[in-house]
Amino acid sequence: MSEARRIPFNNPGWAGNTGEFQLTEAQVRGDEYVGKRPPEGGHPSGTSTYPYMLAEKDPEAPLFEGAYQERFEKIRSRYPDARSALLPSLGMAQELRGHLSPETMEQVAQLLGLSPAYVRGVATFYTMYNKRPVGRFLIQVCTNISCSLCGGDDVLQAFLNNTGTEMGETSEDGNFTVMEAECLAGCGFPTTVQINSRYYENVMPKDVPEILERLKAQGE
């Protein structure tokens, strides 16, 4: 990521397709500023901010060992009780394993002294915790009002067509799962698409093949 990459097409992961825009994608996304975040967690104040929708997943990964154990403890230390650490802990479990299986929920429950049923109730309340495995790339297309007004449905359809999948199903090569998303707070830059932990904005149906190629090629 050291080489300042020019924005390759008109949907640079942010709003700038007016032609007046002088920044690189990395600058917009803040990649350079954030840098590589260590698995044990940087400063404990931000230990819950790690992306937990990643391409590489290991459903068998232990919960939590080594650096992750260290991060888990940092998370715990930021709250007055163990229960409050539940959401970040579920996030970290998903970061490692890709989804929250019953076993994962049970293990997280045990780590925090909660009942498995309780954890299931919480995990299923929130839509970002995958309750079943998803592809390497989870593509979530906003079709809510602002994007809808500007063609969000067509973008969603383009993703489905180009990946050859049904909504919510994973493509045969295991690469893509396409879902409809609620408003992603990118309404001024329609259509907004979240792919794993990154936003793609101003996406048009015609951009879709290029985005998919890029994902396959560079991994993220």
Partner 1 sequence: MAYPYTHEKEVRILSKHFGEPEARTVEGWKARGGYQTLSMAFEMGRNAIIDEVKASGLRGRGGAGFPAGVKWSFMPQDGGRPHYLLCNADESEPGTFKDRELLRWAPHQVIEGMIIAAYAIRAEQAYVYCRGEFFETTQILARAIEEAYEAGYLGKDILGSGVNVDITVHCGGGAYICGEETALMNSLEGRRGTPRIKPPFPAQAGYMGMPSTVNNVETLSSIPFIIQEGADAYRANGTAESPGTKLFCVSGHVRRPGNYELPLGFPLMELIDDVCGGMKEGRTLKGVIPGGSSVPILNAEECANCEMSFEGVIAAGSQLGCAAVIVMDDSTDIVKEVRRMVGFYAHESCGQCTPCREGSAWAEKILRRIEEGRGTEEDLDTLMEVTSQMEGTTICVLSDSVAAPVQSSINKFREEYLSRIRTGEKAGVA
Partner 2 sequence: MMTDQQSPQTVTMRIDGREVTVPTGTTILRAAESVGIEIPHYCYHPGLSSPAMCRLCLVEVEGWPKPAPACKTTVAEGQVVHIESEMAQAQRTGVLEFYLLNHPLDCPICDQSGECQLQDYVFAQGREHGRGREPKRVLGRDDFGGDVLFNGDRCVMCTRCVRFMREVAEDERLCVVERGNRAVIDTFFDEGLEGSPFAGNIVDICPVGALVSKDFLHKARAWDLDRTPSVCPSCSQGCNITLQTRDDLVQRLKPRENMDVNGWWMCDFGRHNYEWINRVDRVEEPLVNGETQGWPEALGSLLGRLKEAKGEVKAVTWAHSTNEEMGLLKAMMEELGGSEVVYRSPRTVGELQLPGFPLLARREDLAPNVRGAEILGFTRVGDEEAEGGLDDLATHKGVLIVVGDPLEDQNENFGAQAELFIYLGSYLSKVAGNAHYVLPTTTFAEQEGSYTNVQGRVQRFWPGIRSPGSARPGWLILGALFAEFTETEAPIGADQAFVQVAKGVPEFGEITYRDMGTRGAPARKSAGVAGD
- Least Å distance, CB 79 to partner 1, is 8
| Cis ω before 170 (30° cut-off from 0) | no
85 in contact with partner 1 (CB under 8 A): yes
- Least Å distance, CB 128 to partner 2, is 13
Q: Which is nearer to partner 2, 102 or 168 (CB)?
A: 102
Task: State the Cα–Cα distance between residues 130 and 137, nearest whole angstrom.
Answer: 13
Phi, psi (5° rounding) for residue 40? -80, 0
Q: Which is nearer to partner 2, 40 or 106 (CB)?
A: 106
20 in contact with partner 1 (CB under 8 A): yes
Q: Which is nearer to partner 2, 106 or 154 (CB)?
A: 106
90 in contact with partner 1 (CB under 8 A): yes
* Closest C-alpha to 176, from 191, 195, 199: 195
Q: Which is nearer to partner 2, 73 or 180 (CB)?
A: 180
* C-alpha torsion angle, residues 160, 164, 168, 174 (rounded to 10): -130
Task: State the Cα–Cα distance between residues 211 and 200, nearest whole angstrom.
Answer: 9
Phi, psi (5° rounding) for residue 142? -75, 130
- Least Å distance, CB 122 to partner 1, is 6
- Strand pairing report for 137-142 and 176-181: parallel
Task: State the Cα–Cα distance between residues 7 and 59, nearest whole angstrom.
Answer: 34
21 in contact with partner 1 (CB under 8 A): yes
2 in contact with partner 1 (CB under 8 A): no
Q: Which is nearer to partner 1, 149 or 209 (CB)?
A: 149
Angle between helix axes 152-163 and 208-218 (nearest 10 degrees) is 50
Task: Enumerate binding residues for partner 1 (CB under 8 A).
Answer: 15-18, 20-23, 27, 29-30, 32-35, 37, 42-46, 48-53, 78-88, 90-91, 112, 114, 121-123, 125-129, 143-146, 148-150, 182-190, 194, 197-199
